[in-house]
Amino acid sequence: MELLLWGIAAFWLALLTIGTVLWRYRPSLWPAEPMERGLAEVAFEWPLVSVLVPARNEEHRVLREAIGALLRQDYPRLEIIVVNDRSIDRTLAILKEMAQRDSRLRVIDGEEPPPGWRGKPFALQQALAEARGEWILAVDADVIAHPAAVRTVLALARERALDALSLLPKFEYVSFWDRVIEPQALNLLRLGMLIAAWREKRRGARSPEGARRRCSSHPLALLSAYVGDPAFTIGAFTLVRREALEDIGGYAAIRGEVLDETILGMRLKQLGYRVFAMEGAPLVRTSARVTLAEIWEAYSRSICSAVGRRWLVALIGGGVIVLLAVFPPLVLIGALMEIVRVGSPSVSEAIPAAIAYVAMSSLSFRLSAADRPTLLSASLAFLGYAIFAAIAFAVPWRLWSGVGVMWRGRCVYGVGEDVSG
């Protein structure tokens, strides 16, 4: 067991070293300088941007603040289309009330998704059908944008000849569970963004034409979309050139995908379009999920897309998480109990376990810097990983038993769903 623990310690030390060394390459986008007086009036120089917002059961979240932030954008040519995705609360009433006060806001009372469609892609497709913009910006209904957010991302996309640009928002944690669990969910993503930024720096600037011809055929495409490749998209805030989006078939290209935000970038990249993602904490922020039940529901949806009904995959995936992230702290707890019982621990096992635990906690603290984590939440990172392992173990049972996996009051995986692939 000692050799195993040293192997786990080496794993976490390697990740911590990568995160620390590459931190200076961290891609982050800051608000552009305020526009000069009179520049906003020259509307013909600015392409129309259509902001698409799917909203489902948002009454008790930050819907008013999020839509209000979009209406306060300093970008001169903007239309905002919000789709009420079959909400069963007062979401539609709130949206209609806000639309009466600003003509740039249009509200669509969305239809139930047809067979083969997920809720969010279908809501976005309905909004796209009504949009007139040259650029399409998909924004989640719980994302609050800086007044210069739209202008800043569009300027960068045009400057770098990008076809799609995504921002990872700052997560505002308000409860014990979101502080412990959410950062661990973002670790792989943020570490991948650091590796991608480093690779881009080494590779140097490419011509737009060369970048557009590049096509990904990696057998682990979904994983490579997160690790070491900047060409992926994030659902919270993604700007896409309309021509590129329509070339892949609009949001129909991701109609059956739960991980729609990642798959969209893959579809664009496969046709040679330039896609990029970066840290956007200075420009966009979102409130994290508060209760353990909300977090469990959200990540059950994501993990189910990878695990499905396959018990073996769930056991292997969950088991690896337990081994790497939960086992070392358990060994440390056992060592402390041994001190209390006999006065001395098994040093040969306690030392690598301690190294693994400290490295894992330090990595969580480092990568979550944009969200301002606490030392306590970072020290409990293993608890967040334990929750993910438990979700992986539970997903096949929920599917085989007919309970299904719910999201915002809608069954996204259940009886009759194809979750085998």
Q: For residue range 381-412, list pLDDT tens digits in order.
A: 999 999 999 999 999 998 888 788 776 767 77
How confident is residue 209, by pLDDT bands cut at 50, 70 and 90?
Answer: very low
3-state secondary structure of 165: strand
Residues 189 and 210 in one domain: yes
- pLDDT, residue 205, reads 44
Helix ranges, 343-368 (H): 347-367
**Final residue belonging to a domain, choices 227, 255, 287:** 287
> Strands 49-55 and 135-139: what pairing?
parallel
In a domain, 421, yes or no: no
User: What average pLDDT score do residues 262-288 get?
Assistant: 88
Q: For residue range 150-189, list pLDDT tens digits in order.
A: 999 999 999 999 999 999 999 888 889 989 998 998 888 8
Question: Which secondary structure element, helix H or strand E, spans residue 80, and what is its range?
Answer: strand 78-84
Measuring CA to CA, which residue among 230, 310, 315 is closest to residue 273? 230
Residues 193 and 299 in one domain: no
Domain count, the chain: 2
Residues 209 and 164 in one domain: yes
How confident is residue 38, by pLDDT bands cut at 50, 70 and 90?
Answer: low
Cα 147 to Cα 122, 163, 284, distances in angstroms = 28, 22, 10
Structure tokens belonging to residue 324? 């790497």
In a domain, 420, yes or no: no
Supply the CATH number for residue 168's domain. Answer: 3.90.550.10
- pLDDT, residue 305, reads 76
State how far Cα 140 lies from the chain centre.
11
In a domain, 419, yes or no: no
> Does the pLDDT at position 228 exceed 70?
no
In a domain, 182, yes or no: yes
- pLDDT, residue 175, reads 87
Q: For residue range 67-115, list pLDDT tens digits in order.
A: 999 999 999 999 999 999 999 999 999 999 999 999 889 999 999 999 8
- pLDDT, residue 212, reads 40
Is the four-CA dihedral 28, 29, 33, 34 of positive or negative sign?
negative
Residues 247 and 298 in one domain: no
User: What average pLDDT score do residues 128-140 get?
Assistant: 96
Residues 138 and 7 in one domain: no
Q: For residue range 233-255, list pLDDT tens digits in order.
A: 888 899 999 999 999 999 999 99
d(CA 350, CA 353): 5
Instruction: Residue 134: give the domain boundaries.
Output: 25-33+43-287
- pLDDT, residue 213, reads 37
Residues 57 and 195 in one domain: yes
3-state secondary structure of 329: helix
- pLDDT, residue 393, reads 95
In a domain, 38, yes or no: no
> Does the pLDDT at position 230 exceed 70?
no
Q: What percent of the chain has pLDDT over 70?
A: 86
Measuring CA to CA, which residue among 15, 11, 308 is closest to residue 190? 15
Residues 273 and 314 in one domain: no
Residue with tokens 């959410």: 182
CB atoms near residue 217 (< 10 Å): 6
User: What average pLDDT score do residues 295-318 get?
Assistant: 87
- pLDDT, residue 222, reads 45
Measuring CA to CA, which residue among 266, 259, 120, 277 is closest to residue 189? 277
Q: For residue range 327-370, list pLDDT tens digits in order.
A: 999 999 988 887 777 766 677 888 999 999 999 999 999 999 88
Which residues on adjacent β-strands are paired with residue 278?
167
404 vs 47 pLDDT, higher one: 47
Residues 401 and 375 in one domain: yes
Residues 271 and 318 in one domain: no
- In the chain, the amino acid numbered 355 is I
- pLDDT, residue 419, reads 42
* pLDDT averaged over every residue in the chain: 85
How confident is residue 36, by pLDDT bands cut at 50, 70 and 90?
Answer: low
Number of helical (H) and strand (E) elements in the chain, helices listed first? 16, 12
Name, of 284-288, 383-387, 412-416, the range with top average pLDDT. Answer: 383-387
**Final residue belonging to a domain, choices 233, 265, 287:** 287
Residues 213 and 228 in one domain: yes
Backbone φ, ψ for residue 145 (5° rounding): -100, 145
In a domain, 320, yes or no: yes
- pLDDT, residue 400, reads 86
Residues 62 and 49 in one domain: yes
- pLDDT, residue 174, reads 82
In a domain, 379, yes or no: yes
Structure tokens belonging to residue 49? 């941007």
- pLDDT, residue 298, reads 84
**Final residue belonging to a domain, choices 243, 264, 287:** 287
In a domain, 140, yes or no: yes
Residues 274 and 325 in one domain: no
Q: What does pTM read for this prediction?
A: 0.84
